[in-house]
C-alpha cells in the first residue's frame, strides 16, 4: 500500500510503503479497537481487504481455509489487509498473502478474557448456557467454575471458547499438550508482534513502527465496552479457578508477555515511553474533537453508531460531536463506528454489493 500522511496545519506530505498485514482478531481482548485502526488505515490508503465470503467472520469456529475468503476484487493483484475473526490455520492462511506480510495478534490477561467471554457468550456457547440454567438465581460463572467438566463437551464445536479461548482462536487444541512446545515455537515464528491488552498503548506504538504509521493514525476509542452491571467482580478464589481451567491460555499469555517486553527493550524503553506519551496526547485531542459522550446505552444511539448487542450483555457506544466540518464528521464517524457497520461499509465499497448473509446453521458468536 502506498501511504500518504499530512503534517497538521501544513501542506507537507510524506509517502511510504505499508506492508500487507494480517491481524488475528482474538475474542474479547481489545481486537475490535485494533481492527478499527486497520480499517481506517486501509480505507484511507485504498487497501484491498481479504473479507469473508459469508458475513463478517471466516466461518468461525472452523479452522481457516482459503476458500473462506471472498474473491480478489477487479483491479487488485493481492490482498493488503486481513483482520476479520478467524480460527488460525497458518498453512492455509500464508499462501493468501504476500511473502512480506506482517502478522499481528493480541492477547489479554486470561482471567479478564474468560470473564468477558463468559459474560458475552452465555447464550451462544452451550457449556455456558447449561451452567446458566443450572445456576438459577446464583452466578452462572460461579456455577460453571465449580465443575466446568460437567458442563463442557469438548466434541461440541460451539464450545471452543469455553476453555482456553485465546489458544482456540490461535488454532491450538487445548487437549493436546504433547505438541505444545512445537505450537508455541510456530506462533512465535509467525507473529512479528503479539500485542498485550494490559499494555495497549505500548502495543500500538510497536504496531505503528511495524506498519510505518504516524502516531496520530493510531488514535482510538475502546469498542465493545459492557455496561457496569454486566461486569462480574472476581475474588481471588474465582480468579484461581479461571486460571486453573484456562491453563494453556495462562502459559500462552505469560510466554508472549515476556517476548513483548523483549521487543519493547529492542525498540528502546525511553523512546517507547516518549512515544506512548505522544500517542496518548494525540488520542486525547482527537477524542475531544470527535466524541461528545462515551458509554452511551444502545437505546440512545442512532442505528449507524449502535453496536450489535448480545443476549447476555449490554454493549455501549459513542455520540459524535456536532458542528463538525464534513471532512471531520467523516473521520469522527469512522473513529467510533462499530465493527460490523464499518465491515459492511468497506465490503460494499470494495465489491459494490452487500455482504452475503450468514450460512444457515453456521455458528457465529457476536463481538
pTM (2 decimals)? 0.92
The predicted pLDDT at position 327 comes to: 95
The values of phi and psi at residue 78, to 5°, are -160, 165
The predicted pLDDT at position 363 comes to: 45
Closest CA to 41 of 212, 189, 193: 212
pLDDT along the chain (367 residues), means of 10: 42 56 97 98 96 94 96 95 97 96 98 96 96 92 97 95 97 88 96 98 98 95 91 94 97 98 98 98 97 96 92 91 95 96 97 84 46
Helix (H) or strand (E) holding 68: none
3 state SS of 331: helix
DSSP secondary structure of 155-193: T-GGGGGGSSHHHHHTT--TT--TTHHHHHHHHHHH-SE
The predicted pLDDT at position 176 comes to: 83
The predicted pLDDT at position 232 comes to: 85
The predicted pLDDT at position 137 comes to: 84
Q: Residue 307 has which C-alpha cell?
A: 453496536
The predicted pLDDT at position 17 comes to: 66
The predicted pLDDT at position 313 comes to: 87
List of residues 6+ apart from 189 with CB closer than 8 A: none
The predicted pLDDT at position 359 comes to: 63
The predicted pLDDT at position 296 comes to: 96
List of residues 6+ apart from 347 with CB closer than 8 A: 49, 51, 354, 355
Strand 102-107, strand 81-82: pairing:
unpaired
The predicted pLDDT at position 288 comes to: 97
List of residues 6+ apart from 193 with CB closer than 8 A: 102, 104, 203, 206, 207, 210, 263
Under 8 Å between Cβ of 187 and 79: no
Closest CA to 202 of 278, 113, 103: 278
Q: What is the pLDDT of residues 41-100, one digit of tens each?
A: 999 999 999 999 999 999 999 999 999 999 999 999 999 999 999 999 999 999 999 999
Amino acid at each position: 500500500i502506498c501511504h500518504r500522511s499530512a503534517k497538521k496545519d501544513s501542506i507537507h506530505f510524506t509517502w511510504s510503503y505499508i506492508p500487507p498485514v494480517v491481524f488475528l482478531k482474538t475474542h474479547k481482548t481489545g481486537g475490535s479497537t485494533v481492527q478499527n485502526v486497520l480499517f481506517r488505515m486501509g480505507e484511507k490508503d485504498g487497501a484491498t481487504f481479504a473479507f469473508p465470503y459469508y458475513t463478517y467472520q471466516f466461518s468461525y469456529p472452523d479452522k481457516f481455509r482459503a476458500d473462506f475468503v471472498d474473491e480478489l476484487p477487479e483491479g487488485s493483484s493481492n490482498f493488503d489487509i486481513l483482520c476479520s475473526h478467524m480460527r488460525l490455520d497458518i498453512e492455509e492462511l500464508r499462501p493468501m498473502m504476500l511473502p512480506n506480510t506482517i502478522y499481528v495478534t493480541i492477547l489479554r490477561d486470561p482471567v479478564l478474557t474468560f470473564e468477558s467471554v463468559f459474560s458475552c457468550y452465555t447464550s451462544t456457547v452451550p457449556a455456558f448456557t447449561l451452567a446458566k440454567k443450572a445456576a438459577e438465581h446464583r452466578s452462572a460463572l460461579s456455577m460453571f467454575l465449580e465443575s466446568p467438566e460437567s458442563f463442557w463437551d469438548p466434541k461440541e464445536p460451539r464450545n471452543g471458547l469455553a476453555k482456553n479461548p485465546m489458544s482456540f482462536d490461535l488454532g491450538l487444541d487445548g487437549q493436546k499438550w504433547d505438541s505444545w512446545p512445537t505450537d508455541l515455537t510456530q506462533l512465535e515464528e509467525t507473529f512479528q508482534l503479539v500485542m498485550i491488552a494490559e499494555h495497549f498503548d505500548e502495543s500500538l506504538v510497536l504496531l505503528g513502527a511495524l506498519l510505518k504509521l504516524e502516531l496520530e493514525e493510531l488514535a482510538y476509542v475502546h469498542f465493545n465496552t459492557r455496561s457496569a452491571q454486566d461486569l462480574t467482580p472476581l475474588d481471588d478464589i474465582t480468579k484461581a479457578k479461571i486460571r486453573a481451567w484456562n491453563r494453556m491460555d495462562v502459559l500462552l499469555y505469560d510466554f508472549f508477555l515476556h517476548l513483548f517486553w523483549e521487543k519493547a527493550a529492542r525498540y528502546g524503553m525511553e523512546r517507547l515511553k516518549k512515544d506512548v506519551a505522544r500517542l496518548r496526547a494525540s488520542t486525547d485531542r482527537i477524542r475531544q474533537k470527535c466524541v461528545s459522550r462515551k458509554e452511551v446505552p444502545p437505546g440512545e444511539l442512532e442505528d449507524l453508531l449502535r453496536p450489535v448487542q448480545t443476549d447476555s450483555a449490554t454493549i455501549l457506544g459513542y455520540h459524535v460531536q456536532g458542528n463538525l466540518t464534513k471532512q471531520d464528521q467523516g473521520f469522527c464517524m469512522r473513529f467510533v463506528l462499530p465493527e460490523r457497520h464499518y465491515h459492511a461499509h468497506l465490503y460494499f465499497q470494495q465489491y459494490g454489493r452487500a455482504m452475503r448473509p450468514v450460512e444457515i446453521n453456521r455458528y457465529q458468536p457476536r463481538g
